[in-house]
Amino acid sequence: MKPKNQRLVLVIAATGALIVAVLLAMWGLRSRASFFYTPADIAAGKAAEGQSARLGGMVEKGSVQHEADGVTIHFILTDGRATTPVTFRGIAPDLFREGSGAVAEGRMERGTFVADQILAKHDERYMPPELGNLAAEHKAGKTLEK
């Protein structure tokens, strides 16, 4: 076989191996993929029952209820158009509170989103407590002395 043909066969074999590797990776990760939905998507019936998903929105004010066991939380996520009840069993993040953004990872079960994990979001004006006074002084036009 000529060297030119050997290179062509090698390139074709490498390309085929790469395609097979990508397909195997996609096949293995298909059960780990989760879709992102809003409460309006849930109300429209886009989320399948029992399917792994993420639900994002704002925690509705006055909706957070803690059960007596101390670890189960019921709350409502809203996107301004629709609401979805959420149940979470575990320790909520420190930033989780009414009126703030949150993303719940879990699945739909009988009209309620059952979350396995909650990710709380802060607003874009977040400032670490250590820098809070520094930022306030800077905005007020004060100069900092060392």
Q: How far apart are CA 26 and CA 128, in angstroms?
A: 40
Q: How far apart are CA 89 and CA 118, in angstroms?
A: 10
69-98 pLDDT tens trace? 888 999 999 888 889 999 999 888 888 888
DSSP, collapsed to helix, strand or coil, labels residue 107 as: strand
Q: Which residues pair with 72 in a beta bridge?
A: 89
Q: How far apart are CA 118 and CA 33, in angstroms?
A: 17
Res. 134: pLDDT tops 50: no
pTM for this predicted structure: 0.62
Amino acid in the structure at residue 7? R
DSSP, collapsed to helix, strand or coil, labels residue 92 as: coil
Amino acid in the structure at residue 43? A
Structure tokens at 19: 């395609």
